[in-house]
Amino acid sequence: MKSKLATAVSAALLMAPAWANVSDNQPDIPFFDHTLPIEERLDDITARLTNEEKGHMLTLWNEGVPRMGMLAFEPGEALHGLASPRHNVATVFPQSTMLASMWDPALMKRIGDIVSDEARAQHHHGPVMPRGRKGPLMFWSPVINIARDPRWGRTQEAYGEDPLLNGIKATAYVQGLQGDHPKYLKTAAGAKHFVANNEEHNRFNGNADISEKQLREYYFPAYKQVVQEGDAKIIMTAYNALNGEPAVTNTWLVKDVLRGEWGFDGFVLGDYGSVMMTRKGWGERGYIGHEIYDTYKDAAAAVMNAETLDFDNTSLFRTDLVQAIEEGMVPQEKFDRAFKNTMRVSLQLGMWDPEELSPWKDLAFDIMASDAHKAVALEAAEKGMVLLQNEPVAEQPLLPLDKSAIKTVAVIGPNADMVNFGTYSGNPRDPISPLQGIRDYLGDDVEVLYVPWAENEDELQTVPMDNIVLLDNQGLGIWRAEYYNNGQAAGKPIASDNVADVNFDWLDTYPHESQNGRHYSARYTTQIVPSVGGDYTFGVEYHGTEAKVSVNGVSVIDAHHRKGQDHREIRPVRLEANQTYEIEVVSMRSTNEGKHQVRFGWQLPKQDDTFEGGELEVAKQADAVIAVMGISVKYEREAYDRTVEGLPPGQEEMLASVLKANPNTVVVLQSGSSIESPWLKDNVPAILQSWYPGEQGGRAIANTLFGDNNPGGKLPLTWVRSWGDLPPFNDYDITNGRTYMHFDKEPLWAFGHGLSYTDFKMDKLKLKSNKVKQDGTIDLSVRVKNTGKVDGDEVVQVYVVDKFDRSDKPKQRLKAFERVSVKAGKSETVKLSIDVADLAYWDEKTKDWALGDRYEIRVGNASDNTTLSDTVRLK
């Protein structure tokens, strides 16, 4: 269940308008004169607007400034494709961990360019929404919180555990999103969440204790690179506190470091509702915030006086902050500074200029989810495939499978017929599941035996987020909740918010704090689009209440109260694939029983398949078995940290039986983080990590399994054998055994690991010089030879070891990499450079960067496989 703060804020965001051009009553003032310098235009509009009007322009859920012809604006999400508004189709690329596993910055930039193309096409030519709204051009993406712990529910949104890889990938994406036009931004990219937002279970009130040294060396670098090299125009701060001070009021973090040291010139906002959560009293409402300020006015004033945030997601900047200014709590110039910072980015986007001046005005709406864009989504999915293991079966590696030698393939597993996009996903056209991809690839030449996953067949399952199309502005599937002080859910609700699903169990409490008395009720509504058509089973479990369920206004369940009993009602419901349905669940309380429970769920339609539930039977019949296993957003997502280590219950047991029946079994894993299963490594001959591979994932999986795509992806994370090998979740000191830099146990698979269908040899490492100036570069070359029979890609990885004493010294640090394609039997020479300044460490005594005198250069294709080395001295 979401916190009251999160649901209240999400409810507000659902009603917020989007960026739009000016309305017809635009006055003839300097602000709208595109020929004037931006600062002159900012001065003009700042002097003309009232504080209330400025406050509206600095918050969501506003009406803009009608008297000036300024319509409201709102950002969107574009984590791995354009994700808002969801009613328009858009290309869905692989989730971020897979994009990181490509180790290909150039492709990352191309993806950013496609996403911003679709954003501009939607903005200029997409359907105009109510109140003149058009598609957004500001995006709260990418996420560059470093993935220090696999238990973090949002690991899937990050680019891995290494600062360099994280920074390079994020910077390339930002450059693609923002474009390279000399005057206008194509879109405005917003990096989040600054900083150390790495726990979901306590993200609203957590505190990250991190030394300045580790901040500088590990947690900051990607943000610094995105700001200084990517020129990102938006930064979102985190919910959590850093060393006891909430990020939203942390002057050192935002004003001193971000703006002062790094020269950030965009605008800063807090995560949704993060200013509100600094106020006291949330604990009394079942929510725990930072509990600092007595009123919202005090909180808003503190943020503005700290010179941290310029923009807020709630109403505080247009109400409480304005009052604080009127009472002299905040100087006017600080408010105007924030207003100009935000509006400057809007001018750089050309939002207030004539649309005909836009360099992207002619991008047609039909490029959305075009075949050309789908081809890039496929390329990304193929490049991000990581071959974890490929052991011999009958003296030959199991992969790639030989289509010509196979007559029957069994496809099994919980993710076989699912399209796992991950969170913050857009709306693709014709996505391809692994099962569909395999069927399409094999055609009529090979029989495909599919067995649907039958986990807890009789249990009601929560409606998966991927099926819910009623979303909040974080891209998460929601139910809209309305609360009543009567037992019939009648009349006007007294309160409303959003919830993640309908699964509540109250004891002597109310569904909402505003409710009281003996009679009360709640109405929960959402919209779904089933990916599979058929006869579903809808069910409601309840106690101490009556419950009703309807679909598109038609009642399907009308369950009456039964005193003292837990009860369950189920009904079959026919749903068609890809059709939109509105589901309504009403819980009506009219008894004195202390317990009050309601839970809604469904059972998936049964397939007409002889082998349903019979994985063992089809494994015996098939020439090869493809088991698509792993996890999904059910196990990891925003607001939910992982609680299941390794594979979910039942998966290993099923695989053990299948492997005995057919050793020609390939496991295709899907996840946004690592799967901690030594059993898999010890028992399964071939394992392909396919992450959450986007809309073309099924095709990419098939192409890889059957050899049309030679996998070349590398892990951006250390896969540990067990969470027991890690320090406590809330320990942010990475020297205590986190990441390849400090992990002191045997990993399941190492950072940078990834196999191929061919063999590579690296040799002839040459340094231009073994003595380099402190302001110089380390230039090196290495030969990569493909000694196998198949063309393939290899990733040259360069690690540096500090050969001198210093505190918190890592085992090694990634400092350069390049993905290279090499033809079978051929060689390629790769040249790389490392700025000596990038080898510096933070000296805690001098509070400045320092260099050592000697460094070892290691080169290989994984952090645990560096076969070449040399030494450099600084002079």
Rounded to whole angstroms, the Cα distance separating 810 from 850 reads: 15
Helix (H, G, I), strand (E, B) or coil at 339: helix
The span from the CA of 117 to the CA of 425, in Å, is: 17
CA 437 – CA 448 distance, rounded (Å): 11
Known active-site residue 271: yes
Question: Residues with Cβ < 8 Å from 603, sequence gap 6 or more?
Answer: 457, 458, 459, 460, 461, 536, 537, 539, 570
Q: Helix or strand or coil: residue 532?
A: coil
Q: Comparing C-alpha atoms, which of 100, 108, 190, 111 is closest to residue 146?
A: 100
Q: Residue 792: CB partners within 8 Å, gap ≥ 6?
A: 710, 712, 756, 757, 758, 760, 786, 821, 822, 824
* CA distances from residue 202 to 195, 199, 287, 564 in whole angstroms, order as listed: 15, 6, 11, 35
- Is 223 in a helix, a strand, or coil? helix
Name which of 866, 839, 671 is nearest 752 in CA terms: 866
Query: Nearest to residue 72, comparing CAs of 62, 59, 80?
Result: 62
Place of tokens 């004891």: 507
Phi, psi dihedral angles at 563 (to 5 degrees): -60, 135
| Tokens (6 digits) for 849 | 């960067």
Place of tokens 């929601």: 478
From 113, 271, 353, 501, active-site residue = 271
Backbone angles phi, psi at 517, to 5 degrees: 85, 180
Between the alpha carbon of residue 874 and those of residues 768, 782, 799, 800, the distances in Å are 13, 21, 17, 14
Cα end-to-end span (Å), the chain: 59
Give the phi and the psi of residue 78 in degrees, each rounded to 5.
-150, 45
Distances (CA, A) of 695 to 176, 361, 471, 691, 778: 20, 27, 19, 12, 41
H or E segment at 51?
helix 51-57
Catalytic residues: 271
